[in-house]
Amino acid sequence: MAETEVKLGPVIIEGKTKVVYQVADDPELVLLKSKDRITAGDGDRSHELKGKAAISTDTTTAIFQLLNSAGIKTHFVRRCDDTSFIGYKCDMIPIEWVTRRVATGSFLKRNPGVKEGYRFCPPKQETFFKDDANHDPQWSYEQCLAANITVGGVLIGRDELDIMSRTTVTVFEILERSWASLDCSLIDMKIEFGVKPSTGEIVLADVIDSDSWRLWPSGDKRLMKDKQVYRELREVTQEALDTVKRNFEWVAERVKLLIPKPNARAVVFMGSASDMPHCEKIRTSCQQLGVPCELRVSSAHKGTEETMKILAEYEGEGIPTVFIAVAGRSNGLGPVLSGNATWPVINCPPLSGDWGSHDIWSSMRLPSGLGCATVMFPEAAALCAAQILALNDHVIWGNVRAKQLNTWIGLKEADKKSRNDK
Ligand SMILES: Nc1ncnc2c1ncn2[C@@H]1O[C@H](COP(=O)(O)OP(=O)(O)OP(=O)(O)O)[C@@H](O)[C@H]1O
Ligand SMILES: [Mg+2]
- Ranges of H-type helices in 294-393: 304-317, 333-340, 356-359, 361-364, 378-390
Do 275 and 224 lie in one domain? The reply is no
> Is 276 part of any domain?
yes
Boundary-marking domain end, from 34, 68, 87: 87
pLDDT score at 27:
96
Closest CA to 192 of 204, 200, 201: 204
Q: What CATH code is carried by the domain that includes residue 73? A: 3.30.200.20
Do 111 and 251 share a domain, yes or no?
yes
**Any domain includes 111:** yes
Q: Are residues 276 and 385 in the same domain?
A: yes
Residue nearest to atom 29 of ligand 1 (CA): 15
Query: 94 and 82 in one domain?
Result: no
- Can you tell me which atom of ligand 1 is nearest the CA of 136? 25
Q: Which ligand has the shortest distance to the CA of 204?
A: 1
Both 94 and 38 in one domain: the answer is no
Task: Specify the pLDDT at position 70.
Answer: 96
Burial of 354 (0-12, 13-18, 19+ CB in 10 A): exposed
Residues 111 and 252 in one domain: yes
- Other Cβ atoms closer than 10 A to 44: 7
Q: Where do runs of H (alpha helix) occur along 124-157?
A: 141-146
Per the domain annotation, does 158 fall within a domain? Answer: yes
Residue 97 belongs to a domain with what CATH number?
3.30.470.20
Neighbours of 158 (CB within 10 A): 12
Do 100 and 71 have their domain in common? no
pLDDT in tens, the chain (422 residues): 444 589 999 999 999 999 999 999 999 999 999 999 999 988 889 999 999 999 999 999 999 999 999 999 999 999 999 999 999 999 999 999 999 999 999 999 999 999 999 999 999 999 999 998 999 999 999 999 999 999 999 999 999 999 999 999 999 999 999 999 999 999 999 999 999 999 999 999 999 999 999 999 999 999 999 999 999 999 999 999 999 999 999 999 999 999 878 899 999 999 999 999 999 999 999 999 999 999 999 999 999 999 999 999 999 998 999 999 999 999 999 999 999 999 999 999 999 888 999 999 999 999 999 999 999 999 999 999 999 999 999 999 999 999 999 999 999 999 999 998 87
**Which residue ranges have their beta carbon within 6 Å of ligand 1?**
12-13, 15-18, 20, 30, 32, 75, 87-90, 92, 130, 132, 192, 194, 205-206
Q: State which of 11, 16, 78 you would mutate to test the pocket of ligand 1, scoring each by most atoms of that ligand within 8 A of its C-beta.
A: 16
Residues ≥6 apart with Cβ < 8 Å to 305: none
Cβ(180)–Cβ(167) under 8 Å?
no
Q: How many angstroms does the Cα of residue 11 sit away from the middle of ligand 2?
A: 16
Domain contains 413: no
Residue 69, in any domain of the structure: yes
> Cα of 48 to ligand 1 centre, how many Å?
19
The bound ligand whose nearest atom lies closest to the alpha carbon of 43 is 1
Mark whether 46 and 193 lie in a shared domain: no
Q: For residue 286, what are the CA distances in angstroms to 51, 399, 408? A: 40, 11, 20
φ and ψ at residue 186, rounded to 5 degrees: -85, 115
Q: Which ligand is nearest to the CA of 130?
A: 1
Of 87, 118, 137, which residue sits at a domain end?
Answer: 87
**Domain total of the chain:** 3
**Are 64 and 143 part of one and the same domain?**
no
Residue 410 included in any domain = no
Residue 420, in any domain of the structure: no
Tell me what pLDDT residue 3 has.
Answer: 47
Same-domain status, 194 and 271: no
Domain C-terminal end among 258, 288, 315: 258
> What's residue 1's pLDDT?
44
- Which domain range does residue 382 map to? 265-392
Residue 233 CA to ligand 1 center (angstroms) comes to: 25
If asked whether residues 103 and 126 sit together in one domain, one would say yes
Residue 41 and residue 125 share a domain: no
Considering the domain boundaries, does residue 418 fall inside one? no
CATH number reported for the structural domain that contains residue 304 in this entry: 3.40.50.1970
